[in-house]
Structure formats: structure tokens, C-alpha cells
A = this chain, B = another copy of it.
């Protein structure tokens, strides 16, 4: 294949597009791979389409190798199945909704769990038909509030989504791992760095779930990892409760005056000034018990309060709280909430008042009380005394107060121990490029996908879902492979293998370049030939650097010596080789 730049529909740009924030977006627009049609919605130009086709081909090959079969669903879908599973509403503003001429409700599919489930229900009825894994590569739609970063977060984008159907959990686990392995092969073939992290379930519902994140400073996902191999999305880090300690030597709890100490900082300062420790050490924020009042609202709109106690040096991370309180909206309590609970004295809230437990469903306030897993039995804390200007010292968990349960919603910090004991955690950012998910029976139950088992009994099918952001991957590849001059595509996805530049004015230059391009094509190479007349060699070289084909061959001045220059785009190495050996050197 030879693509001639003299004919290619391409215009490279010297200026970054105004709306572009990240390198991949800037460069893919400047190099004429994509073009914005609307916010988060892009047109693919010929070179971009060539890259996209190559990525899709790799995905298809590995899906086939994993035994997955390709189908193709509509993007325009009726409301009913999504109504049945509740997602018509759950998706909120992220869903593009519309009506047809008969006022029937439709949506543009953000994902296809419902449709795959119904298709299998439609055609299959026996355990003998299973397992089966189906996939598609298809345009998806999400009405992102802030479409950003070009292809990294679009509103119309291409995904490969696969779904597995099994009779047993063991089958599901096997199907899951077949896809997970395929994902590793795909990302390895694409040369994409990735980390597999435990993931939260998000809006999908279900049990086991892992994300493939490509580490990147512009990533929207925060994840943690340890040197010992632990890796998880911050939402998915589960802190193990700390073991109980003995409180035998802890003096009895004592209420003291702590005027003007509504904040942790002011409390610690006063404690160190007025109530210095007997061992001479300082008090720290981590010695105090911070009690945060949250309002949680269920899907029917019922709002109630929860108090969460956590070490005073930690903050609540609401992203983690949303996962912990799945199905509820979580926010900080407002003035109105406090007005309904005059027993909660802001700045001085604690589990106990006058030696009697105040917080807790069965305590005097009736307000649910949860504790961070770091608040272990036997540990002593400085906590609010539920009286303005007073705190309790030496308040011991288990001895002086109890809780209704655990709330693992504190922020994760660099240096925190990995939950599996594999060392301190590092915090990094990544871009989600894949997601594998043991959905379980959620969709099959909602849509009644059952098959007859070996004993002739109806059993509900168990499912997995597996997604790869195809267009996002292209952006991630561009993000990871560029320099200040332009793109540097990995060989396996480049729009061409070799970029031949006719750098000169004489016919012999153009003729030689064309002949070389044809010789290379004959060896199976994809060739981009810059045969533009009246374009200077300098502009052609800049364009070659911008377009990012891995190997560049310059047919120009060296031709006088019977040579051409081979230029490696990534390393920048340039060397002259005899014209007659150029083809073999490049094959």
C-alpha cells in the first residue's frame, strides 16, 4: 500500500487547537488524524482511520483467540430493557435520550449489558449452549458533563465490549480469566504500559472487578500500588481493621475544658499546652477522634444522618464514601440537618456524653455511628464531649464506647500500608483502558435469563462484562509516544511502516522516491510517500516528524552519492545507506 501525500486528504497544522489540553489531543488534530465535530465528538480522517483499523484488528484477533464471537448491536436502543434494570434512570444526565416519531423512548447506548442478555435469552435455553462469550466493536454514547482531552473522554467513542454467559460461578471465573488474559495480550501487543487494579463496581453492580489502568500524569483515575505487587483503584482499597490492643493501663476517661477548640488543629494545640502527656510526648491530630456528620439519601429520597469517627489526621474521601454507601447519595450534613439534631454540637461531637453513649442507633441520639477501621478496640482517643468547649480524654473504644459498624471511607495516603501487607502504598494516576467485571446474576435476574441445567431445572445465568476503550487506547498510545516535534507511533499501529520523503526539486528525486516506495510496497510494507511538488524539504521533514511514522527515508541530497538517509523517528538516528540496499535494510 502506498499513500501519496500529494493526494492524501490531509492538512497538518502548526498551531495547537484552542480547545486541546493534552498532548495526544493537540498532536492528533495537528497531524490530521482527527477533527472535532462537536464537544467530545470527533471525525476520523484517513490517517486516523488507518490507526483505528489496526488497533481494532489486534483486538479482534485476540478476541477470536479467546473464543469470543463478534456480533454488532444497534446504537439506538429502546427504553424498555434499560427501564427493567433501572439504568434508564440510574445513568442520569449521562444518557442521551430521545423519542421517535411515535413518542416512544429511545437511548443511545452507553453500554450493552441489557441487549446481550436479551439476545442470549432470545436464542439459548440450555446449559449445553453455554458457556458463550460475545463481543462487539461499536460506537458508544455518554453525555459527559466535561468532555475533555480529545479522545480520552469523548461523548461518542468506540468500545470493544464483551459479555460472557455461564451456568456456574466457576465457569464465570474461567470466562473472566480468558478475557483478562486476552486483555493482557492486547495491551502487550499494543506496547501499552498498564497496571491491573482492583476496581469498585461503579454503576455496574456485581462482585469481582479489575481495571486496566495505563499510568499517566493526565489520568483521571487515582490508584495505589505497593512494591510488593498490590494495586487498586483508590475507591477499591479495603483497609483491614487494626487488631485490638490492651487498654489496661489507660486511665479512666475524663472530661476537660477545651474552650475555643472547634477544629482538630486548635484542639491539638490546646491539648499540648494545657494537658501535656505524662510521657512528655506531643499530642498529634492522629490522637484525636474526628466525628464527621454525613447525610445519606436513598434512591427514594429518604435522607438520614450518619456520624463517622476517624483519626483526626484523616479526611473523608467522598469518592470512597459513595462506594461504601452504595446506592446512597452521600454529602456533608447541612445546617438544616444539624437543626434537627440539637444534640450534635458542631466542633465538639463525640460518641459519649456524660458517660453515656450518645451516638449510635441504639444510643440516646439514635444517629447511626460508624468507625474507621483504624479505630481499634482498646485504643484511647481525645473526642468531643458533646458540650461546647469540652472534650473527653482517654476515651477508649470498646471500654467507653462502641459503634454500629465500620466505615472505610478515609482518604488513602502515600505511605499507608498496603492492605495485603506488601509494603507502603504509592499513589499514582492512570487512564482506564480496560475493565473486566464479574457481573454475576444482576442482569440475568432482572431480565430473566435462565437456562435448563443438567437436571432439567431452570437456573439463572451468571455473566461477566469486559470493556476496552478502543478510541481511548489510541489517545493513550499517542500520549505515551510523542515528543515536542510530533507523534511517534509504535510500529504495530502506525498508519504506515515507512515514510518516504522526496526532498528535492529534480525529477530524479521524485522518480527515485516513487520507485523506492514501490519496492518497499512489494515487500509488504505500508508506505507513506511525500511526493508533494513545491513543498520545501524542511516542511516535509517537519510533517514527517509530526505524522509519526516510525521509519523515515529521505531521498534527497545524498542521492548524488547513490545514497538515501534512513531516519528513525523515535531515536532520531539518521544514517546514509546505498539506495540499492535501502529496501533490504528496511524489510
Contacts and interface: CB of A to CB of B under 8 A. Distances in A.
Interface string A117-155: 001001110000000101000010101010000000001
A35 B119 contact: yes
A325 interface: no
Contacts of A46: 69-71
A78 interface: yes
Contacts of A44: 71-73
A37 to B, nearest CB: 5
A96 interface: yes
A10 B134 CA distance: 12
Nearest to A9: B69
A101 interface: yes
A41 to B, nearest CB: 5
B7 A74 contact: no
Contact of A67 (B7, B45, B72, B76): B7
Interface string A139-178: 1010101000000000110000000000000000000000
A105 B279 CA distance: 69
Interface string A35-50: 1011001111110010
Contact of A49 (B72, B74, B100, B119): B72
A139 B71 contact: no
A105 to B, nearest CB: 11
Contact of A70 (B49, B78, B97, B106): B49
B98 A71 contact: no
A132 B45 CA distance: 13
A9 B116 CA distance: 12
Given A115-B37, A122-B35, A143-B100, A74 B9 contact: no
Interface string A67-88: 1011111111110000000000
B37 A77 contact: yes
A: interface residue count bin: 35 or more
Contact of A9 (B93, B97, B108, B132): B132
Contacts of A218: none
A75 B11 contact: no
A8 interface: yes
Interface in A523-567: none
**Assembly of this chain: how many copies?**
2
A45 B71 contact: yes
A115 B73 contact: no
B101 A98 contact: no
Contacts of A71: 9, 43-46, 49
Nearest to A3: B69
B49 A76 contact: no
Interface string A294-305: 000000000000
Interface in A1-56: 7-11, 32, 35, 37-38, 41-46, 49, 52
Contacts of A134: 9
Nearest to A6: B128
Contact of A93 (B11, B101, B143, B156): B101
A179 B26 CA distance: 35
Contacts of A124: 11
Nearest to A131: B7
A479 to B, nearest CB: 21
Nearest to A123: B11
A74 B41 contact: yes
Nearest to A46: B69
Contacts of A42: 74
Contacts of A141: 76
Contacts of A77: 37-38, 41
Given A11-B123, A101-B93, A43 B74 contact: yes
Interface of A: 7-11, 32, 35, 37-38, 41-46, 49, 52, 67, 69-78, 93-94, 96-98, 100-101, 106, 108, 115, 119, 122-124, 132, 134, 139, 141, 143, 145, 155-156
Given A9-B69, A49-B72, 10 more contacts: A7-B69, A9-B123, A37-B115, A38-B77, A41-B77, A43-B71, A43-B73, A76-B156, A94-B101, A97-B98
27 contacts: A7-B67, A8-B69, A9-B69, A9-B134, A11-B123, A11-B124, A37-B73, A37-B74, A37-B115, A38-B78, A42-B74, A43-B73, A43-B119, A44-B73, A49-B70, A49-B71, A49-B72, A52-B72, A76-B141, A76-B156, A94-B101, A96-B100, A100-B143, A100-B155, A101-B145, A108-B108, A139-B139
